[in-house]
Amino acid sequence: LMTRGGAAALHMEDRVGSLEPGKLADLIVIDTERVSLTPPQTLISNLVYSPDPGAVQDVYVGGEHVIQNGHHPRLDRKAVVAGARAASEQVLKGAGLDEYLRTRGGWRWE
């Protein structure tokens, strides 16, 4: 109902708002067996007030399967992590906080 109403409010009900042939489909598949989503009697409240990103199994955007089994098939996670680390290092160096940069095993108790 909310999906159809939202589409109608945007005058897009001919393209979105319901799952029908010829319309764009954005939807998610949730693993309802997750502890965070129990008991089943409070499923909607749990989804709204205590979201668990790990419960998302599959995502379709415009009918395209973009998340499969909880992972983005075209995303190079190692490259993303490496890029984030490099950006973090650049920010810390730029702020004069080189002392906060560390390498693996760099922690020492003093």
In a domain, 13, yes or no: no
Q: How confident is the model at residue 109 (pLDDT cuts 50, 70, 90)?
A: low
Q: Which domain holds residue 85?
A: 74-103
Q: Cα separation of 64 and 34, whole Å? A: 25
> Above 60 in pLDDT, residue 8?
yes
> Above 90 in pLDDT, residue 58?
yes
Q: Are 83 and 48 in the same domain? A: no
- Most confident of the following: 14-18, 98-102, 105-109: 14-18
Q: Are 89 and 49 in the same domain? A: no
SS (H, E, C) the chain: CHHHHHHHHCCCCCCCCCCCCCCCCCEEEECCCCHHHCCHHHHHHHHHHCCCHHHEEEEEECCEEEEECCECCCCCHHHHHHHHHHHHHHHHHHCCCHHHCCCCCCCCCC
The angle formed by the CA atoms of residues 95, 100 and 104, to the nearest 5 degrees, is 135
Q: Are 59 and 29 in the same domain? A: yes
CATH number of the domain residue 65 falls in: 2.30.40.10
